[in-house]
Amino acid sequence: MATSSLDTRTYDGGLTRRDVVRWRNALFVVFGLSGLAVSTWLGRLPSIRDILHATTLEMGFLAGGISVGSIIGITLSSHIIASVGARRTALTMLGVLSVGLVVAGLSASLGAGFWAILIGMAVFGFGNGTLDVAMNVSGAAAERVLGRTVMPLFHASFSLGTMVGALVSAGAELLRVPVATHVALLAVIVAVSAVVFTRRFQSEELGHAGATDDEAPRESSWRSRLAIWTTPGTLLIGLVVLGMATTEGSANDWLALAMVDGHGVSNAAGTSIFFVFVTAMTIARVAGTPLIDRYGRVFMLRASAVAAIVGLLLVILSPVVWLAVVGVVFWGFGAALGFPVGLSAAADDSRNAAARVSAVATIGYVAFLAIPPLIGFLGERFGLLNALFAVFVLIVAAGLASGAAREPSRR
């Protein structure tokens, strides 16, 4: 059989087109698995609250357990990746987050209590946080090898995973499926898929100015990797990711409960509205990818900040549910591109990509650590909808700092 020229094209490191396509597609799956796992748990929060009879503040601290584990994982991620590579890191951490889900789910269904669930969520957060950096580092390398913007599409796959997870969780809420049964089945799917697809990953060192795997310099020590934190560009990109992560994370943690408590919808309806949010994010990530190539990262980041502000105002101030749902759509559009664009900017130079992505992601995950208990604290006193006003400051800051994410070719 004849072989097309596309199939025989050679990329950096001697990769064929088939190698690169398999790598790209495996990344789509791994991003989707991460989103599926996160959304599965978040979609069951109304049931978790009912099981624990927890207050809004206690739910905030429970959500913060994921963030604590994530911060630890992300902080250590660049050193782990430097030791074993992005592929092995992703494989291992998909297993770790699966264990965390099972522990938390069993603890909830068996009545083991708040602290047992918190421990499971911290383990889940550690696995997912470290995975986050590993798959983004590998994704940035694939993007460099392909020579075009792909990162938002990887994150669209994450959002597609959250859509599936939210939809399944809404059905599980409606049918009263036990949390333990639900998350245990999900954990098995994630673990098996991890073994199959991570083997297709390629070296994260590829794509540096045409350098091969052996030619691209690496972060050689803990000190050199930690020095990334002292560079102004890294900190400004981190501020962008911080603000946009807050935009996304506040919806992940509180949207379903805010719609239940603030707009009086049912638990199943609240989870379904969360599905609307992640669907809007997915659409925006797919549609926004060519727009980034056309208009640039900075323009799209600033447009995202405006959309997020409009959406939040509609959700908080709307007197009717349908208009709040319209706001959820704008909120999803605004939250879609900030995180992937920021991480893509952090990985522009492959020589320190893992360290920079780790640093920027760590800054971003401060939002996931600090915002859930803060909104819970404010929600106890002023209501969840009013507590969401706290998100605005960081969205504005992200919009103002977005110039740091400008592409090298546009500087």
| Mean pLDDT computed over 144-159 | 84
Instruction: Return the higher-pLDDT residue of 128 and 282.
Output: 128
What pLDDT is stored for residue 296 in this prediction?
87
Q: What is the mean pLDDT of residues 395-401?
A: 88
Q: Partners of 16 in the beta sheet?
A: 10
pLDDT in tens, 90-129: 999 999 999 999 998 888 777 767 788 889 989 999 999 8
Q: In angstroms, rounded to a whole number, what is the distance separating the alpha carbons of residues 133 and 135?
A: 6
Q: What is the pLDDT of residue 215?
A: 40
- Average pLDDT rounded to a whole number, residues 357-362: 77
- Residue 9 reports pLDDT greater than 80: no
pTM of the full structure? 0.72
Task: Indicate the range of 3-7, 197-201, 231-235, 238-242 predicted with least confidence.
Answer: 3-7
Q: How far is CA 245 from CA 105, 113, 313, 391, in A?
A: 26, 29, 18, 10
Helices 232-263 and 56-109: crossing angle, nearest 10°?
80
> Over 70: is that where the pLDDT of 7 sits?
no
Min mean pLDDT across 104-113, 279-288, 299-308, 362-371 is at 362-371
**pLDDT for position 354:** 67
Q: Give residue 180's pLDDT.
A: 85
Tokens describing residue 218 = 């690496």
User: Does residue 323 surpass a pLDDT of 50?
Assistant: yes
User: How many angstroms from the chain centroid is the CA of residue 240?
Assistant: 14
Q: Which domains can be identified in the chain, with CATH numbers?
A: 19-199+229-410 (1.20.1250.20)
For residue 170, pLDDT over 60 is answered with yes
> Does residue 4 carry a pLDDT above 60?
no
On the question of pLDDT at 214 being above 50, the answer is: no
Q: What does the pLDDT read at residue 3?
A: 46
Q: Is the pLDDT of residue 332 over 80?
A: yes
Q: Using the predicted structure, report yes or no on whether residue 152 has a pLDDT greater than 90.
A: no
Average pLDDT over residues 357-370: 73
Average pLDDT of 355-382? 76
Give yes or no for residue 209 having a pLDDT over 60.
no
- The rounded mean pLDDT for the chain is 82
pLDDT class of 264 with cuts at 50, 70, 90: confident
Per-residue confidence (pLDDT) for residue 24, from 0 to 100: 93
Contacts of 245 (CB under 8 A, 6+ apart): 338, 339, 364, 365, 367, 368
Mean pLDDT value of segment 379-400: 86
Give 10's strand partners: 16
Q: Concatenated DSSP letters for 145-196?
A: HHTS--HHHHHHHHHHHHHHHHHHHHHHHHHT--HHHHHHHHHHHHHHHHHH
Check residue 348 and report its DSSP letter: S
More confident residue, 382 or 10: 382
Q: What average pLDDT does this structure show over 289-314?
A: 91
